[in-house]
Amino acid sequence: MSVSAITKTFPLEDGRTITLETGRLAKQADGSVVVKMGDTMLLATVVSAKEPKLGQDFFPLSVDYKEKYAATGKFPGGFFKREARPSDYEILISRLVDRALRPLFPDDYMNETQVLITLISGEKDTAPDALAALAASTALTLSDIPFNGPISEVRVARINGEYKINPGIEESGEAELDLIVAASIDNIMMVEGEMKEVSEDVMLEAIAKAHEAIKVQCQAQLELAERAHVDVNEKREFEITEDDEELKKDISGATYDKVYQVAKSFIKNKNERSETFKKIREEYKEKFSEEELEEKEDLIHKYFGEIHKKAIRNMILDEKVRLDSRKLDEIRDIWCEVDYLPSAHGSAIFTRGETQSLVTTTLGTKLNEQTIDGAVFEGTSAFMLHYNFPPFSTGEAKMLRGTSRREVGHGNLAMRALKSILPDETENPYTIRVVSDVLESNGSSSMASVCGGTLSLMDAGVKIRKPVSGIAMGMISDAETGKYAILSDILGDEDHLGDMDFKVTGTKDGITACQMDIKVDGLSFEVLKEALDQAKKGRLHILGEMAKTITEPRDDYKPQVPRIEKMFVDKEFIGAIIGPGGKTIQELQKETDTTIIIEEEGDMGVIDISQKIKNQSTRLRPESKALLQFLKLEKFTMAR
């Protein structure tokens, strides 16, 4: 017996179609949908607990994207041959969807909610990340879970001067701009992507194009719900904590002015400022008995937090000055140093205010390339950037439990910022790994990683085309008065209490990557353009500060860096060089103390010979008689 499904199909500009289907799979979930484009299919389900856990004061939302290897006819790697921990790609998609959905749940909704998105069928040239948020939002829209959607995400790419929505994977490789944009029918909510030094105007135009496509996808979700006889305005009732208006008014009267004055006193040290605010709260609590505190302490903390946020926001809007006395567009003091670690291939310290990153660069051979083996994407990567955020960077003691999603996301953003300025393989035969260890954090640590990464690469002698810097922008706005303030180089406090977190990286000539989360409705493109223009001014200032330390890559690599020579030989000689069972090449490596890697490219064999040298002025010159004999053959030619 077949089960009929309810569907809604809508076209993309290039004639491809996307189909939303519900009523056939996973019907015991609160909401479920299958999204199909071509042969790619995603199943999204959402389930939310009927009641919150006792005493829970936060919203426990989990969003997970998973790929089934069977979806593309592949076996998982590893010993167990089954899907295990999520890959970085799966984590990044999960974060994209989470950031788009999370702001749209009611503030008082505390019920545990789980969104699962699964790739159940995949085709080679369709990237599933552009469909994941559409699937998740549709499942929520069809459910009775309180949700102020629908929303959707699309990929927008600029290819040969034209914008394309959800292009194929091969096409995206040719793009000068590649963005994922999330939005509702009315508002842009999230932007993330990479560019090849495009202008601010080009980026704004791409966001506008994406929003037009998203409006169509949101309307399709509403039409599917109507066909499924779901009233999107009828959601389950949930318990709302009643406010103690008398207590709230009393706290406001007793603490608002004090918080405002402390904010206006411009305490620059983060911990000192935090302790001063905390002292105001604790002094207020002294008026209550232990019995009263046992009943009211949680509410006191909640209301004081709201008053603290309101007072600081008003101070910034009224005084046009920041918590640390900076002007709205002023950048914190910067100091940099390179070549700090004597044994590393490249190293740099980048410090901006109370945020500090120690960044290292390591150069290796093709054997060090990262293998990518996903259900859709496979291959190798010769450039890696890893971001670490230890708890001591914020003065905390926490258990170390592996790499967090946040660390994966920030590392990916910094990697995208830098990869477009790296030299091509003819200039750089190395595999590159950059690691940013955040040693202090008070906002904008991912952007410190970008700046430190640039310095570290130059210190290592990597011939980058141009330096890149990054800046985190914020915004505070008041809908009633129409006041707003755009903040350059935000503090951690300003990120927490602000309405926007907008990270922009680039060279002096254009933007290379961005990440934006908007927490307020109705952000106009005019304000967004103002933020981008202010970000450019800050970015150029930071590049100028970095140039005081190092302006261009070192002329030569450091002594501890392995030297690589590249040889091209006729394909017919490869077998002779390798020898029976690899005997010849193994002897060559042993006698010359080198690593020899041979690959085929067309009719030629490419040989990479890597060797650590003792003297910086010495070039790689293998002295093995056997290898010299090969080099003397007329069919062999050397190339740097």
Q: What is the pLDDT of residue 578?
A: 85
Weakest mean pLDDT among 477-486, 535-544, 580-589? 580-589
Give the 3-state secondary structure of residue 347.
strand
The pair of structure tokens assigned to 315 is 């101070």
Say if residues 141 and 217 touch (Cβ distance below 8 Å): no
Q: In degrees, to the nearest 5, what angle opens at C-alpha 276 toward C-alphas 272 and 280? A: 165
Report the alpha-carbon distance of residue 405 to residue 62 in Å, rounded: 12
The pair of structure tokens assigned to 48 is 């939310």
Q: What is the pLDDT of residue 634?
A: 39
Q: How many CB atoms lie within 10 A of CB 527?
A: 15
Q: Which residues, 6+ apart, have CB-to-CB distance to 306 below 8 Å?
A: 248
Mean pLDDT over 339-368 rounds to 96
Structure confidence at residue 360 as a pLDDT band (50, 70, 90): very high
% helix / strand / coil in the chain, to the nearest 5? Answer: 35, 30, 35
Nearest to 459 by CA among 575, 352, 344: 344
Q: What is the pLDDT of residue 485?
A: 95
In percent, how much of the chain has pLDDT > 90? 71
Q: What is the pLDDT of residue 104?
A: 94
pLDDT tens-digit profile of 419-438? 999 999 888 889 999 999 99
Q: Is pLDDT of 628 > 70?
A: no
Q: Using omega within 30 degrees of 0 as the cis cutoff, is the peptide bond preceding 622 cis?
A: no
Average pLDDT, the chain: 90
pLDDT tens-digit profile of 240-251? 878 889 999 999
Q: Is pLDDT of 543 > 50?
A: yes
Say if residues 119 and 166 touch (Cβ distance below 8 Å): no
Structure confidence at residue 592 as a pLDDT band (50, 70, 90): confident
DSSP string, 107-133: TT--S-EEEEEEEEE--TT--THHHHH
DSSP string, 242-288: PP-HHHHHHHHHHHHHHHHHHHHT----HHHHHHHHHHHHHHHHTTS
The pair of structure tokens assigned to 577 is 């060089």
Q: Is the dihedral of CA 304, 308, 311, 317 positive or negative?
A: negative
Q: What is the pLDDT of residue 609?
A: 77
Mean pLDDT over 253-279 rounds to 92
Q: What is the pLDDT of residue 1?
A: 52
Nearest to 567 by CA among 500, 520, 622: 622
Mean pLDDT over 516-536 rounds to 89
Mean pLDDT over 571-578 rounds to 82
- Residue 183 dihedral angles phi and psi, to the nearest 5°: -160, 160
Mean pLDDT over 520-531 rounds to 86
Weakest mean pLDDT among 111-115, 166-170, 501-505, 519-523? 519-523
Residue predicted with more confidence, 500 or 590: 500
Structure confidence at residue 633 as a pLDDT band (50, 70, 90): very low
Q: Is pLDDT of 496 > 70?
A: yes
Q: In degrees, to the nearest 5, what angle opens at C-alpha 542 toward C-alphas 541 and 547? A: 100
Mean pLDDT over 341-364 rounds to 97
Q: Is pLDDT of 617 > 60?
A: no
The pair of structure tokens assigned to 567 is 């040889």
In percent, how much of the chain has pLDDT > 70? 95
pLDDT tens-digit profile of 106-154? 988 999 999 999 999 999 889 999 999 999 999 999 999 999 989 999 9
pLDDT tens-digit profile of 469-479? 999 999 999 88
pTM for this structure?
A: 0.92
Report the alpha-carbon distance of residue 567 to residue 561 in Å, rounded: 19
pLDDT tens-digit profile of 271-295? 899 999 999 999 999 988 888 888 8
Report the alpha-carbon distance of residue 412 to residue 418 in Å, rounded: 10
Task: Report the residue count for the chain.
Answer: 640
Report the alpha-carbon distance of residue 629 to residue 633 in Å, rounded: 7
Report the alpha-carbon distance of residue 155 to residue 37 in Å, rounded: 14
Q: Is pLDDT of 384 > 80?
A: yes
Residue predicted with more confidence, 569 or 491: 491
Give the helix/strand (H/E) hosting 510.
strand 510-518
Mean pLDDT over 191-214 rounds to 96
pLDDT tens-digit profile of 304-351? 999 999 999 999 999 999 999 999 999 999 999 999 999 999 999 999
Q: In degrees, to the nearest 5, what angle opens at C-alpha 120 toward C-alphas 114 and 123? A: 135
